[in-house]
Amino acid sequence: MDGTKNHGRPHVHIDYGKQLHFASYAIDTGERLAGNLKTAYDKTVREWINKNRQKLVVAWEAIQGGTIPENTLAELKAG
């Protein structure tokens, strides 16, 4: 996630290999917004977003408010 305030639609950035921000997906729908990640991964990313949507929203709101939600981010990385 990007900490820039008013960064637009809540979304996550997917890193793949050594490439950062390889693709972006909307938190509310799981829709791919940008990026070159193989489409074969779209279903997996959408499922992960659906499973973690509540935590993603909490993290997005905290980051947009200027704080880093360390516990929530650790939970997301673990799961």
Q: Which helix (H) or strand (E) element contains residue 64?
A: helix 42-64
Amino acid 31: pLDDT: 95
- Domain ranges, ordered by start, for the chain: 11-78
List the chain pLDDT tens, one digit each, 79 residues.
665 666 678 999 888 777 666 899 999 999 999 998 999 999 999 999 999 999 999 999 998 888 888 888 888 887 6
Amino acid 17: pLDDT: 77
Amino acid 34: pLDDT: 92
pTM listed for this prediction:
0.83
The runs of H, that is alpha helices, within 1-79 are 42-64, 70-78
Amino acid 73: pLDDT: 81
What distance in Å separates the CA atoms of residue 64 and residue 79, rounded to the nearest whole number?
A: 22
Q: Which residue type sits at 66?
A: G
